[in-house]
Amino acid sequence: MKKNFIRIIPKLDIKNGQLIKGINLEGLRILGDPFKFAQHYYKSLADEICYIDNVATLYGTNNLSSFISRTASNIFIPLSVGGGIRTIDDIERMLKSGADKVCINSAAVNNINFLKKATRIFGSSTITVMIEYVKIGKKYFISTSTGRDLENINPLDWAKKVEDFGAGEIFLTSINNEGIKMGFDIKVIKEISKNVRIPVIAHGGAGTPQHIYEVIKNSNVSGVALSSILHYDIAHIFKYQRSGIGNFSYLDNLKKKIKPANNLLKIKKFLKKKGLNVRV
């Protein structure tokens, strides 16, 4: 697949109305109001915004409608949303709230025909399948429920299958690499992105702009989703209000004198200077 411009996509995980971030999808820290982060990324030339309700599948709910409506009214780039989307009505509600795409994971694993039905009704370009995978020993598994449950399915096999059932895009996360900021799992990303025809978004592992460059240069991804490398560097610039839910100690201890080092626009300019086709 010939590459167009590479999308750089901030991924915002939300729990109880707060932006959160962890390591290997666990050990979650509260970072503040997700809308403020989304606004900042929009002004920094993000190509898309991705909202994920981190506990929706666990609790059987999805509470992102208000976030979507507020964001879609103020931020004019594509918006994708996921977490707890299990029915056609769920998809319709998210789209009516202002989402451009929905991301599904558990629903497709539990019933692959749901994916086929969804793409038939809403179109493939509207449906992204999130593949979260983990390596244990020498074997790979895919995961549902934000890393809580493992399925004995190889991620490449699953990528090919969801493509066959109509998925318009794959959002690929290495749980082993997620949040540790030591680089992407390029081997698996390369294998999957070169063996499917639909766009693949790489997520999990970015700690430096060089990491982002390397995964783009050495695979066939259409975009890269970023979390830690963006969120931690700007969390201190926003005022936050305690909700009474969650641990705010990380925010309390942030040194406010630290200036952002890896903001989104700087990352995109770095990639452009390296010769990559990004929007700046």
- Residue 30 confidence class, pLDDT cut points 50, 70, 90: confident
Query: In terms of pTM, does the model score above 0.85?
Result: yes
The pLDDT value recorded for residue 134 is 95
- Residue 149 confidence class, pLDDT cut points 50, 70, 90: confident
Closest listed residue to residue 222, CA positions, set 161, 164, 277, 280 = 277
Q: Please state the rounded mean pLDDT for residues 225-235.
A: 84
The pLDDT value recorded for residue 108 is 96
The pLDDT value recorded for residue 1 is 40
Pick from 2-11, 66-75, 194-203 the range whose average pLDDT is largest. 194-203
CA distance 122 to 132: 23
Does residue 212 carry a pLDDT above 50? yes
CB 22 within 8 A of CB 227: no
- Residue 246 confidence class, pLDDT cut points 50, 70, 90: very low
- Residue 59 confidence class, pLDDT cut points 50, 70, 90: very low
Look-up of token digits 């202002």:
98
The pLDDT value recorded for residue 248 is 46
Q: Is 132 a catalytic site residue?
A: yes
Q: Is 13 a catalytic site residue?
A: yes
Phi, psi of 25 (to 5 degrees): 65, 15
- Residue 53 confidence class, pLDDT cut points 50, 70, 90: confident
Domains and CATH numbers, the chain: 9-273 (3.20.20.70)
Tell me which of 53, 132, 178, 185 is the catalytic residue. Answer: 132
- Residue 231 confidence class, pLDDT cut points 50, 70, 90: confident
- Residue 250 confidence class, pLDDT cut points 50, 70, 90: very low
The pLDDT value recorded for residue 180 is 83
Tell me the two tokens of residue 125: 């370009």
Q: Mind listing the pLDDT tens digit for each residue in 78-118?
A: 999 998 899 999 999 999 999 999 999 999 999 999 999 99
User: Is residue 36 classed as helix, strand or coil in its secondary structure?
Assistant: helix
Is the sign of the CA dihedral 85, 34, 228, 1 positive or negative? positive
- Residue 54 confidence class, pLDDT cut points 50, 70, 90: confident
CA distance 11 to 226: 6
The pLDDT value recorded for residue 66 is 79
Q: What is the mean pLDDT of the chain?
A: 87
The pLDDT value recorded for residue 100 is 97
